[in-house]
Structure 1
Amino acid sequence: MEEENKENLNQPSKYEVALGKYNTDLKDDEIASKVSHLIEKHADENNTPEVKKFLFNCIDLTTLKCTDSETSVMEFTEKVNDFDDKYPDLKNVAAICVYPNMAEIVNDTLEADHVKIACVSGGFPSSQTFMEVKVAETAMALHAGADEIDIVISVGKFLSGDYEGMCDEIQELKDICGEKHMKVILETGALGSASNIKKAAILAMYSGADFIKTSTGKEQPAATPEAAYVMCQAIKEYYLETERKVGFKPAGGLNTVHDAIVYYTIVKEVLGKDWLNNDLFRLGTSRLANKLLSDILGEETKLF
């Protein structure tokens, strides 16, 4: 009996078995070199009005400030409504992303077609709270009108090797979301290496993530092209293994039109055209909307 127990202890967990199907032994300098080469070779060809219009339609227009109020979020949402009237020939942003307690305000105010309501949840941005609170917050956000939920992995659990604890949380919150899309934030700047980013990406997808997202924007470094490249490679390999398409969302530190074009280039070159739609590609940002719109219109515009 003791021998059997010892054998069981030596058996790899289902999470280790899942990770074993992928190459997670990555060298950070090699990733940086590949990304630099990819951007240098392909970014300029994507600097076009059509790509910029597409990128605008992939924005999760985000307000996650301690100063948010019902009035400010209502005004924020009205600007998205106004966009449809002012620019009928352009596609609107993909979603408005807010704290859960603001979902009802957005739901009551939003009139623009095809714009979803996304809420951060699960103890965002640190994910450091009781699981019961994460479940309740997520359920309440959905009840208040959220179409999509953005959660953060338990980074501390991941870094200490508690893959089961991290994955169980993701699975439980995905069960609450049901058919509604759940985006899982890896907080790549806190993970420390390309290998860890790859592992966290695979475990998040394995646990039910509909999207994987780089960052909360509350930690530095936030999104980086290198993290994006590793995550897109993970999505591609996971798709080849499972035939399930998982979306990708860079967020945090997307400040310029060039930044957006870089992420578009990585998605296009690594994942291909199947991912170039706002069901599988989003950009989490507040600053970028006006800059992209200004570029598209050829004049400085401050709608948002």
Structure 2
Amino acid sequence: MNENHAEHCCGHHHEHAPKQSKYEVALSKYDLNISDGEVREAVKKIIAEKVHENDTPEVKKFLMGSIELTTLKTTDSDESVMAFTERVNQFDDAYPNLPHVATICVYPCFAGIVSQTLEVDGVEVACVSGSFPSSQALIEVKVAETALALKDGATEIDIVMSVGKFLSGDYESVADEISELKQVCGDRKMKVILETGCLKTAENIKKASIIAMYAGADYIKTSTGKLEPAATPEAAYVMCQAIKEYYNETGIQIGFKPAGGINSVMDALIYYTIVKEVLGEKWLTNQWLRLGTSRLANMLLSEILGEETKFF
């Protein structure tokens, strides 16, 4: 997208500011001319030609270790979240040869319970923050919620981009909020949820990915899981392309997290394969690839063990 085009598509929201914002300048460095049809075809090809070679016990074990075991229910309580965390402790004893999950993901009010109950080294405590899932709150409220989650033991924070502002073309406000929340997080990892189902087009998903990364995201994540459609292979493909181009442009590696709608082992294998094909081996560690899901853990465990297992 050349600069004139950037100004043309974004400028009418800022009549008095013909000077491009730094985010319009950033966007102008990337190829935003992507069609949804081309993305669909590319994904279809990857699924048809590449997924089967990753359908192995090793990959399934790796995916087990990339899961962000998530409970974000209205009915969650101190007791239920404590029991949820205890299962992660017990898993480590029951299956010492399998990788434990990467993360337990909860609402901020449970950060303390999880961090006090968790006994397994290397499992992160992630909290959804910033008025999840709508992101419709004053920035002061988002900052306070994030700071409190970190104080109570969260080691990672998942926030939702202000989707309404993004769709109105107010990229500056979207980015400023992300930056402000990243400042609160400091060196703790922050994931920015794009809610790709609301963004509709490949071009929007790519723009949102780039803005989030420039503004300070450590990971970009597809969805909250609270709206349909949630994660899709097409959205994942566009986000991974954006991560790759951003890495080539800046040298900064950003993680990827599909979340919501990961309903089968095959879904997980498809996301793994897209990451492998678009981003390469360097992203195939649970440092850079996470899967936001609760139901996948038992399914993967059942396939790895060769019998139906309901552990979590």
Q: Deviations over 1:166-187 (max 9, x none)?
A: 0000000000000000000000
Instruction: Output the amino acid matched with 2:77.
Output: S
Q: Deviations over 1:240-272 (max 9, x none)?
A: 000000000000000100000000000000000
**Structure 1 position 25, deviation (Å):** 1.5
Q: 2:182 aligns with which of 169, 174, 179?
A: 174
**Structure 1 position 192, deviation (Å):** 1.2
Q: 2:121 aligns with which of 94, 106, 113?
A: 113
Instruction: Output the amino acid matched with 1:92.
Output: H
2:153 equivalent in structure 1: 145
Distance in 1 (CA, whole Å) between partners of 2:156 and 2:17 is 39
Distance in 2 (CA, whole Å) between partners of 1:287 and 1:91 is 17
**1:55 matches 2:63:** yes
Q: 1:193 aligns with which of 182, 198, 201?
A: 201
**1:26 matches 2:34:** yes
Instruction: Output the amino acid matched with 1:196.
Output: N
Over 3 Å counting, the alpha-carbon distance change for 1:7 and 1:294 in structure 2 is closer
Instruction: Output the amino acid matched with 1:283.
Output: L
SS at match of 1:114: coil
Q: 1:271 aligns with which of 270, 279, 282?
A: 279
Q: 1:93 aligns with which of 97, 101, 104?
A: 101
SS at match of 1:201: helix
Equivalent residues, number: 299
**Structure 1 position 8, deviation (Å):** 7.6
1:3 equivalent in structure 2: none
* RMSD between aligned residues: 1.1
Distance in 1 (CA, whole Å) between partners of 2:297 and 2:197 is 24
Distance in 2 (CA, whole Å) between partners of 1:14 and 1:78 is 46
2:8 equivalent in structure 1: none
Distance in 2 (CA, whole Å) between partners of 1:79 and 1:110 is 9
SS at match of 2:17: helix
**1:39 matches 2:47:** yes
Distance in 2 (CA, whole Å) between partners of 1:90 and 1:185 is 29
Matches within 5 A, 1:202-281: 202-281=210-289
Distance in 2 (CA, whole Å) between partners of 1:19 and 1:130 is 26
Distance in 2 (CA, whole Å) between partners of 1:118 and 1:254 is 19
**Structure 1 position 225, deviation (Å):** 0.1
2:88 equivalent in structure 1: 80
Q: Deviations over 1:17-61 (max 9, x none)?
A: 100000112110110011000111100000000000000000000
Distance in 2 (CA, whole Å) between partners of 1:43 and 1:301 is 24
Instruction: Output the amino acid matched with 1:59.
Output: I
**1:299 matches 2:307:** yes
The TM-score normalised by the length of structure 2 is 0.95
The worse-fitting range, judged by mean Cα deviation, of 200-209 and 23-32 is 23-32
SS at match of 2:191: strand
Instruction: Output the amino acid matched with 2:38.
Output: E
Instruction: Output the amino acid matched with 1:183.
Output: K
1:12 equivalent in structure 2: 20
The TM-score normalised by the length of structure 1 is 0.97
Q: 1:127 aligns with which of 118, 130, 135?
A: 135
**Structure 1 position 10, deviation (Å):** 2.1
| Same amino acid, percent of matched pairs | 68
Distance in 1 (CA, whole Å) between partners of 2:150 and 2:15 is 44
Over 3 Å counting, the alpha-carbon distance change for 1:287 and 1:123 in structure 2 is same
Q: Deviations over 1:95-147 (max 9, x none)?
A: 00000000100011000121110000000000001111000000000000000
Distance in 1 (CA, whole Å) between partners of 2:263 and 2:132 is 22
Instruction: Output the amino acid matched with 2:306.
Output: G
2:5 equivalent in structure 1: none
Distance in 2 (CA, whole Å) between partners of 1:159 and 1:8 is 20
2:4 equivalent in structure 1: none
Instruction: Output the amino acid matched with 1:78.
Output: E
Q: Deviations over 1:186-212 (max 9, x none)?
A: 000000100000000000000000000
- Identify unmatched segments of 5+ residues in structure 2: 1-13
SS at match of 1:9: coil
